[in-house]
Structure formats: structure tokens, C-alpha cells
Structure 1
Amino acid sequence: MVPSLTLTPAAEKFVRRILRFSGLPATAGFRLVVSAGGCSGFNSEFSAEAAPQPGESVLEVGEGLRLFLPAESRLLLDGVTMDFVDTPTKSGLAFIDPKQAPCACSSSGDVAATPPGVARIDVGSIGRGRPATLTH
């Protein structure tokens, strides 16, 4: 089953940038691993990969954009919209799930600013492949 996942133009641009700067061939894809959990209903990890892993489905989005999705991710992402949010205080992927109930926990200082069913992945957590260099 391939989910009916919608990417906003901002999310598509973000994914294409990750792939373009990965150094992988044009046939590479964006592996998106989503599991249930977290305040918003999603825990997510992503990476640029040369090919899908065994058991992953390939979802073609737009012109030549490939998403590699494991089985659990496919089930959870059905009907979800993936967006990229860039504000002065947050930057990352957001998953909007119309089936998800709003979060009522108070573990975040900006719960009111977070739409229901949204998970965020900070861009700062993406490694660039080189360790930081200290200069004195």
C-alpha cells in the first residue's frame, strides 16, 4: 500500500535540497521513517539514500522526487500532509494529520502555536558529514 501523502511546495523544496546536497546520484531518494509516539503522534527520522531498503515502497512525488517508506511509515502517513516550517523560532518538517486529536499536554511552552497532529524535526539536527572544527 502506498499512502496518500501530500507534500506542500515548501516540503518538496526541502526534500529536494537534502537530496541535491547529499552527493548521491539523481536516482537517490529521501528515506522517511515515521513511528507512533511523541506529543503530536509522530516520531520521525529521515536521510538521503542511494536506494530503498528491502521492504520499502517508493513513492514518486512531483518530477523525479522519490520517497522511500518502510511499512509502518506507509500506514501512519496515509492521509497526512508533510510541510516544511521556517519561523524565527522553529525550522523543520511538520506532519499534519487530520485524524490526530489535538495535544493537551503542557510539556511545551508553545502548545497553543502548534497545530494539532504536527511533528517537528529541527533542521539543526541534520549532520553535514563533517565534525565541527574548533579554532583558537
Structure 2
Amino acid sequence: MIQPNVTVTPAAEKFIKRMVRFSEHPSGGFRLSVSPGGCSGYNSEFTVVPAAQQGDSELLVNGVKVFLPAESRLMLDGVTVDFADTPTQSGLTFFNPNAAACGCSTSGDSAAAPAQATVSVASIARRPPVTSSH
């Protein structure tokens, strides 16, 4: 099975590790599904699962398992996965230096910037802290 040439930044690696460590499956892995769509070219979803699903490829990121379905492997080849936590966005971002940017708000005279997409983490439920009653 061909592994994609994916770069994971330290910020994305930290996020992925935390998602796995604090999940119901701390010995499992981070399953990242990327599909075509959206203005920037990517629709993405992630889950923490106990094991790879049939057809998934396993990518080790400093000891953390990242499971990639076949279509995601193709789309992520050459892409840098980062994590942004700013007042305007929070989530994984994907930077593809080989893709053209969205033409939604660019003029015909400007140079196209590489495509970028974001996956929001706002919908992730946080577990309440464990408290002891003495």
C-alpha cells in the first residue's frame, strides 16, 4: 500500500496526540477522512477509533497512529496538516502547495495562493472533570 507524502506540523501532532490520549480509545488511532468539496477543495472529518478500518492505511506520527482511508491518502499526498487556534478559527488546516486557491473572491490579475481548508473542533464534546467527594 502506497503511503502518502504528508507533513504533520508540531501543532497538528500535539492536537492529534491529545485527541487520542483523552478519548475512549487511548490505545487506538486518529482516523482522518478527507474528501473533495468546499470552496478550498477539502471536506474533512476525524474520529478516534480503536483500530484501522478495512482499507485504511496506518501512518505513524511520532508513535501516534493516524488511519487514512484510500481516498484520503490520495488527497493528502504532498499536503501539510497543521492546527490553528485563533480567535477566528480552531481546527486542523490543510495546505496544498500544488493546488490553486478558491476563485470566490480573487481578481483575475492576482496570483493564486495555495489552497487551504479548515476542520472545526468546536463540535467536540468535552468531558466534565472528575471530582472526588470527601
User: Could you say whether these structures have the same fold, taking a TM-score greater than 0.5 normalized by the shorter chain as the test?
Assistant: yes
| 1:103 CA drift (Å) | 1.1
| 1:90 CA drift (Å) | 1.1
The residue number in structure 1 matching 2:33 is 33
Higher strand proportion, which one? 2
Question: TM-score normalised to the size of structure 1?
Answer: 0.82
The residue number in structure 2 matching 1:55 is 55
Q: Which amino acid aligns with 1:12?
A: E
Secondary structure at the counterpart of residue 82 of structure 2: strand
In structure 1, distance between residues paired with 2:87 and 2:26 = 33
Deviations 1:83-124 (A, max 9, x none): 001111211110000111011214xxxxxxxx6311111121
The residue number in structure 1 matching 2:84 is 85
The residue number in structure 2 matching 1:123 is 121
Higher helix proportion, which one? 1
The residue number in structure 2 matching 1:69 is 68
| 1:15 CA drift (Å) | 0.4
Secondary structure at the counterpart of residue 91 of structure 2: strand
In structure 1, distance between residues paired with 2:39 and 2:93 = 13
2:14 maps to 1:13: yes
Aligned length: 120
Secondary structure at the counterpart of residue 41 of structure 1: coil
Unpaired runs of 5+ residues, structure 2, are 106-112, 129-134
| Alpha-carbon RMSD | 1.6
Deviations 1:34-81 (A, max 9, x none): 00111111100000010000111101111x111101100000000000
Q: Is the contact made by 1:40 and 1:116 (CA closer than 8 Å) also made in structure 2?
A: no
| 1:129 CA drift (Å) | 7.1
Unpaired runs of 5+ residues, structure 1, are 107-114, 131-136
In structure 2, distance between residues paired with 1:124 and 1:22 = 16
Question: TM-score normalised to the size of structure 2?
Answer: 0.84
In structure 2, distance between residues paired with 1:127 and 1:56 = 26
Secondary structure at the counterpart of residue 115 of structure 2: coil
For residues 95-110 of structure 1, what are the structure 2 equivalents within 5 Å?
95-106=94-105
